[in-house]
């Protein structure tokens, strides 16, 4: 079995509450781009101690194919919403991948062209 086989995507049941949506707001003038990753934008995901989004991770693929870890956001239940914003320099990247972990429903992925 390969790691990719346990990742759930937009085809899986429960996608509305789990697939991490990625939004990029570019700023070529300042060289600093804003990236938001939001889990449960369409249908809010539960946020209790028993069932919550534990972490969200961003990885980027550069133009030359190199994979770069850009950040992991470790979230506590109840008060931390599964919606993170970070500031990145994306000019060398061609694609961003978001991964999120629900403590009940596992690992979910999504990606976006930069």
**Would you name the residues annotated as active-site residues?**
16-18, 45, 51, 102, 105
Residue 23 CA to its chain's centroid (Å): 10
Interior angle at CA 27, CA 26 and CA 30, nearest 5: 150
Binding site for Fe ion (CB under 5 A): 102, 104-105
Residues 100 and 111: their CA atoms lie apart, in Å, by 12
Is 103 in contact with 54 (CB distance < 8 Å)? yes
> 93 or 101, CB closer to Fe ion?
101
Smaller CB separation from Fe ion, 15 or 95: 15
Is residue 99 helix, strand or coil? strand
Find the shortest distance in angstroms from Cβ 76 to Fe ion.
16
Nearest to 58 by CA among 104, 5, 20, 11: 20
Nearest residue relative to Fe ion (C-beta): 102
Q: Token pair 């809010």 is at which residue? A: 44
Shortest distance in whole angstroms from residue 18 CB to Fe ion = 6
State which residue, 88 or 102, has the beta carbon closest to Fe ion.
102
């Amino acid at each position: 079995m390969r790691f990719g086989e346990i990742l759930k995507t937009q085809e899986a049941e429960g996608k509305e509450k789990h697939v991490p949506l990625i939004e990029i707001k570019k700023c070529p003038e300042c060289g600093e781009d804003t990236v938001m990753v939001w889990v449960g934008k369409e249908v809010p995901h539960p946020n209790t101690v028993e069932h919550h989004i534990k972490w969200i991770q961003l990885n980027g693929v550069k133009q030359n194919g190199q994979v770069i870890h850009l950040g992991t956001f470790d979230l506590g239940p109840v008060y931390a919403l599964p919606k993170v914003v970070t500031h990145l320099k994306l000019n060398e990247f061609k694609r961003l991948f978001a991964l999120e972990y629900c403590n009940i429903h596992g690992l979910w992925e999504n990606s976006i062209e930069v």
